Chain A
Amino acid sequence: MMRRLSDIYCIFRIHLARLRAESGPFLLAAIVFPLGMYFFANGVVRQDPNEFIPNYIKVHFVSASLVFSLSLTAISWFGYLLLENRFTGRLKLFAVLPVASSSYILGVMVFALGQGVVGSFSLLLAARLLGVDFTVNSFESVFLLIIVVLLAIFSLAGLSVVLAHRVRSFAAGSLMTDALGGGLVLLAPIYYPAETLPVAFRWVSKALPTTYIFQAINKILTGDLVIGTELTVLCGMAAVTLFIGFWQLSWREA
């Protein structure tokens, strides 16, 4: 057990060095672009530049931008990193070690969780500095928010793990992670009402983790801590993606 924990920690450390060296792109994906989306949504919703926007709408956009941040970091950025590991031969270095493939997945997931938590709470801090009033003021709300962020990362980063090990080329994988990172946010009714979507897309949006991540976060930020349904759905999605990720990654080629 200690050996496995040590392996997971080392794999986390190896990837953490990437964040240390490339903090600029991470900040862009985790904070700057989502803040940009927040300003964009606020701008679009106004009929004229001086119009007052109620706080609950601002909280709605902060929640949506948090989902955007999680999606960009857990799919676009993290997925790209996994693709690099696979297609530049770095994965071979682990494959020839006496390390379980599940330890590799857990190590990179811990890294994804770390960056997701840092990104989310930095974005919330930025929103607070911008004057958005949300209610994360009790131990219970902070705890639930952390749980939602963790489940969000597991379900989104799990998709990255699956994608990065199924695609046939780096170019195809890179395109897919970029498209998914943005697409999962735009196809889910998080910046706009679900009713504006065509019926078929409404059904599609019900299958997207981003829809439930948004609902859970928005409820917590508005003081509604009854998020059992969202947590259940996210647990299911995280379990499925992680199961597929663990199942398909084998160090030994057939």
Chain B
Amino acid sequence: MTTPKDKPEIALHAGSIVKRYADGTEAVRGINLTVAGGEAISILGPNGAGKTTFLRMLTTELKPTAGEVNIFGTDAIADPRKAKTKIGVTPQEAGVFETLKGNEHLELFGRLKGLAKNEARSQSERILADLGLSESAKKRVGDLSGGQRRRLLIGLALIGNPPLLILDEPTTGLDPVSRRQVWDLLKRVVAAGTTLIFSTHYMEEAEQLSDRIALINAGKIVALGTLPELQSRFPLRYRLKFTGDAVMRSTKTLFFEKFEEVQSFIENTAPVEYQISTSSLEDVYFSIVGEELSSNGNGDGRVSK
């Protein structure tokens, strides 16, 4: 994986962007984000946090109330069409043209991105193969499964080799095998130098694909950093999942700051079964977003979940 320092070129800069709707709702409240070329950034946050609104302002679909968006040196607010030549997008709730065949769909959208006919055809074949859709190339899109359509939508973002991919929950609705297939493809694309920004609800997806992770809550980035950086903000590094001590028979999870505390707890309570692991991105997420670990601390270095 690359880090911002390896590639100084700025792929995207969002400066203090705000989105306030006519009814006064402020969906995005001053987000600053700079993404280096070749970097992969995931956007995590609860429903309604402003992830999609933020991404739609980056893709030029939505005009910010205030702030600036710059994509590879182009002011995306002043010249959205030029900015869009550098972006491949998978919107969250986009539909496909069901009467087209899979290969036609990709080829025609490749041509709309400015590819010559032969180039659109060859890229279409390659992308369909990469997404495991070669056998569906000649099928009408309406006959494809929901997961296959979702993969086709990712293909529509990839065709034309745009240097920046903006994907809004790209793997929602995909089975685990298809999801990993998409991850592998996105890893290859990023390794080849493409910049990736995507939103997701899957922590594992964020861990697998991102150089940095941005946590958004209530229209603001509340944390931004690499996975170790975010984990370091969560002092309770050890997670103990255990079942059945003398008093309690159900499964419970506790967090501890030091490993010795875990050992001590196990010795004292003698659980029937237990599992120790380091805290995950999900734990960090809950900690920072404050949805789960809010008030369960018991003052002795343990937090129950």
- A residues within 8 Å of B by Cβ? 3, 6-7, 10-11, 13-14, 17-18, 20-22, 88-90, 92-100, 251-254
| Contact A254-B63, Cβ < 8 Å, known A18-B99, A89-B95, A99-B112 | yes
| Contact A252-B63, Cβ < 8 Å, known A14-B97, A21-B140, A98-B113 | yes
* Smallest beta-carbon distance A127→chain B, Å: 30
Q: Please determine whether A92 and B81 come into contact, CB atoms closer than 8 angstroms.
A: no
Q: Please determine whether A93 and B109 come into contact, CB atoms closer than 8 angstroms.
A: yes
Q: Give A253's nearest chain B residue, CB to CB.
A: B62
Kindly list chain B residues whose C-beta atoms are within 8 Å of the C-beta of A17: 97, 99-100, 104
Q: Please determine whether A95 and B111 come into contact, CB atoms closer than 8 angstroms.
A: no
* B111-148 contacts to A (CB < 8 Å): 111-114, 140
* Smallest beta-carbon distance B252→chain A, Å: 43
* Smallest beta-carbon distance A92→chain B, Å: 4
In the docked arrangement, what's the CA distance between A165 and B212, Å?
A: 39
In the docked arrangement, what's the CA distance between A92 and B166, Å?
A: 14
Q: Please determine whether B99 and A20 come into contact, CB atoms closer than 8 angstroms.
A: yes
Q: Please determine whether A89 and B94 come into contact, CB atoms closer than 8 angstroms.
A: yes
Q: Please determine whether B89 and A96 come into contact, CB atoms closer than 8 angstroms.
A: yes
* Smallest beta-carbon distance A85→chain B, Å: 8
Q: Give A7's nearest chain B residue, CB to CB.
A: B112
Q: Please determine whether B87 and A96 come into contact, CB atoms closer than 8 angstroms.
A: yes
- B residues within 8 Å of A by Cβ? 56, 59-63, 80-82, 84-85, 87, 89, 91, 93-97, 99-100, 104, 108-109, 111-114, 140, 156
| Contact A89-B111, Cβ < 8 Å, known A97-B84, A98-B81 | no
* Smallest beta-carbon distance B105→chain A, Å: 8
What are 14 A-B contacts with C-beta separation under 8 Å?
Answer: A10-B108, A17-B99, A92-B61, A92-B93, A92-B94, A93-B94, A96-B60, A96-B84, A96-B87, A98-B85, A251-B60, A253-B56, A253-B63, A254-B63
Kindly list chain A residues whose C-beta atoms are within 8 Å of the C-beta of B96: 90, 93
In the docked arrangement, what's the CA distance between A93 and B109, Å?
A: 9
In the docked arrangement, what's the CA distance between A28 and B273, Å?
A: 69
Q: Please determine whether B81 and A100 come into contact, CB atoms closer than 8 angstroms.
A: yes
Q: What is the total of A-B residue contacts with beta carbons within 8 Å?
A: 76
Q: Please determine whether B99 and A98 come into contact, CB atoms closer than 8 angstroms.
A: no
Kindly list chain B residues whose C-beta atoms are within 8 Å of the C-beta of A21: 99, 140
Q: Give A95's nearest chain B residue, CB to CB.
A: B61
Interface centre among B62, B111, B112, B114 (most CB of A within 10 A): B112
* Smallest beta-carbon distance B280→chain A, Å: 33
In the docked arrangement, what's the CA distance between A7 and B91, Å?
A: 21
Q: Please determine whether B95 and A98 come into contact, CB atoms closer than 8 angstroms.
A: no
Chain A contact surface mostly:
helix
Q: Give B61's nearest chain A residue, CB to CB.
A: A95
Q: Please determine whether B108 and A13 come into contact, CB atoms closer than 8 angstroms.
A: yes
Kindly list chain A residues whose C-beta atoms are within 8 Å of the C-beta of B61: 92, 95-96, 251-253
Closest 8 A/B residue pairs (Cβ): A88-B95, A96-B89, A21-B99, A89-B95, A98-B84, A89-B94, A90-B95, A17-B99
Q: Please determine whether A10 and B62 come into contact, CB atoms closer than 8 angstroms.
A: no
Kindly list chain B residues whose C-beta atoms are within 8 Å of the C-beta of A100: 81
In the docked arrangement, what's the CA distance between A17 and B98, Å?
A: 9
* Smallest beta-carbon distance B298→chain A, Å: 47
Kindly list chain B residues whose C-beta atoms are within 8 Å of the C-beta of A99: 112
Q: Please determine whether B80 and A251 come into contact, CB atoms closer than 8 angstroms.
A: yes
| Contact A3-B114, Cβ < 8 Å, known A20-B99, A253-B63 | yes
In the docked arrangement, what's the CA distance between A10 and B80, Å?
A: 21
Q: Please determine whether A10 and B112 come into contact, CB atoms closer than 8 angstroms.
A: yes
Q: A93-B95, A100-B81, A251-B80 are in contact. List 12 more A-B contacts (CB 8 A).
A: A13-B108, A17-B97, A17-B104, A21-B99, A89-B94, A93-B109, A95-B61, A96-B84, A97-B112, A98-B84, A252-B60, A253-B62
Q: Please determine whether A89 and B62 come into contact, CB atoms closer than 8 angstroms.
A: no
Kindly list chain A residues whose C-beta atoms are within 8 Å of the C-beta of B114: 3, 98
Interface centre among B84, B87, B93 (most CB of A within 10 A): B84
Kindly list chain B residues whose C-beta atoms are within 8 Å of the C-beta of A11: 112
Kindly list chain A residues whose C-beta atoms are within 8 Å of the C-beta of B89: 96
In the docked arrangement, what's the CA distance between A20 and B97, Å?
A: 13
Q: Please determine whether B63 and A96 come into contact, CB atoms closer than 8 angstroms.
A: no
* Smallest beta-carbon distance A87→chain B, Å: 9
Q: Give A16's nearest chain B residue, CB to CB.
A: B99
In the docked arrangement, what's the CA distance between A95 and B90, Å?
A: 11
* Smallest beta-carbon distance B244→chain A, Å: 49
In the docked arrangement, what's the CA distance between A17 and B113, Å?
A: 20
* Smallest beta-carbon distance B302→chain A, Å: 46
